[in-house]
Structure 1
């Protein structure tokens, strides 16, 4: 591809056929800060905010390993109108996910995030659909993310937000459903609507699934393989009940929960790819770890 025009990491990943399963970053808490203007390349850290407020929010977020993301509605609505919002979204393995929402006009209003990180939050709210469209971080995020944000916003205007960098630029368009903790990648306008429609109906598909963020990469790959074999299922229809490792190989037990009583033993092998260019803005070549499922056996 050298010399054939601008380099786009998502195009290169598709040409290489980069595996997508097992690539979701680990985490179960998200902090969202609505910012309707342009986003700095480093997101929240680059905003011109009171340094003391920014430090307090970051310390509180780091204490619980929360990810801080800038968000905005698709189309960059004018600064006038309702006050910008912030949110703390928390995944709960029981399925009782929690959300806490607030608004901010002054920098000091963001201190409410610190208190929310220590509070349980409200249950029963619909999930948030985050579409990475952070072009200042990586061109592919904007080029592929914005059409997806438009398509999803037209269908679910109250659920969908554009967001800053979520990881895995080469898998753009990336979509995160939170606080469910589910990453999707390699999406376009049509496939994103199909994926989110199925997700909201409790039928998560293996196609385009990067992983569940409460699981580690080989476990994510194992669950995706089970969904690919047994068919779509709800977020909590399967649980990882056992993981053993021998060098670069894992044996992972994925057990169904009622009404899915089937269980599977999944074998996963890890290996590194040859060094290549993985992002648009980073010219350095590096390798990635792939988690290849070698067998799926009903147990």
Structure 2
């Protein structure tokens, strides 16, 4: 890539686009190992049997999960048997389950993991002491910035945590590349480079969120992500799972109240959504569109 490349991530940095609340809301992730190439719609174009893909898609939509393709950095050979991992966004590390096995069982794992904590037949409880899964978006067919910025970040993280790091297909928020998510905490981070990525993940694993690079905890909707981030800013440093939020209560068309719970008590947080000026938000965008910024206007004891 030419040193003169100036993509959507460069423009977003110039505009100082706010990241908090930009993590796509999901309850879990189905990760399917596939070395590539990845089309724009990666799962649909990866050569899966059409009936299997339809089954997986239905299960994921019903459970509010996302399907991602993953591969190890460095394009290492993939075992002949296709592998998959189902990762639920955990309320606690001990409540998190993973499964791997033949792809035909993945849909049942998604359905089971989306219910009240019952493990699938092919799954077992994660070891709370084990390293989490770290995904870095490198989906260049979807957005050039994800490949240009994501691949060096994936390599740097893999050098530090070789068993935990995967490149992945589209995570969302291309303009914040390089993007990464730490599972099962469901913590999205953006605007990463190789050096900051290693520090950010080290801090995360040590129980401190990097609020300057945090996009949100994806197991919560965007409004709650903003409220939780503000609580971490005021009450932290705290681990990702230390602060939770109830369902946002809409007070006005663009104003919500969210009750967050932390070890020190509960707070009522008022969050306002503001539409920003239209901008070109991805490298592939044909026109400018407005993004949403989430602002905390009140933070009071409940």
Residue of structure 2 equivalent to 1:124: 126
1:50 aligns with 2:42: no
Equivalent residues in 2 for 1:247-258, closer than 5 Å: 247=252, 248-257=254-263
Instruction: Give the superposition deviation at 1:74.
Output: 0.3
**For residue 221 of structure 2, what is the aligned residue in structure 1?**
216
What does 1:96-245 correspond to in 2, within 5 Å? Answer: 96-102=95-101, 109-119=102-112, 120=119, 121-125=123-127, 126=130, 127-241=132-246, 243-245=248-250
3-state SS in 2 of match to 1:158: coil
* 2:82 is equivalent to residue 90 of structure 1: no
Task: Give 1:54 deviation, angstroms.
Answer: 1.9
Structure 1 pair 59–255 and aligned structure 2 pair: CA distance change class (3 A): closer
TM-score by length of structure 2 reads: 0.88
Q: What TM-score results when the alignment is normalised by the length of structure 1?
A: 0.89
Question: Is contact 1:205-1:232 (8 Å) kept?
Answer: no
Cα root mean square deviation, aligned = 1.9
- TM-superposed deviation, 1:7: 4.5
Q: Distance in 2 between matches of 1:14 and 1:286?
A: 17
8 Å CA contact retained: 1:91, 1:98? no
2:298 equivalent to 1:295: yes
Structure 1 residue ranges (4+ consecutive) displaced by more than 3 angstroms after TM superposition: 81-84, 241-244, 262-265, 295-299
Q: Is the alpha carbon distance of 1:33 and 1:147 closer, same or farther for their aligned partners in structure 2, counting shifts above 3 Å?
A: same
Structure 2 unaligned spans of 5+: 113-118
Match of 1:285 among 272, 285, 288: 288
Aligned to 2:277: 274
Deviation per CA, 1:47-72: give whole Å up to 9, x if none.
12322222222222222122110000
Structure 1 pair 242–99 and aligned structure 2 pair: CA distance change class (3 A): closer
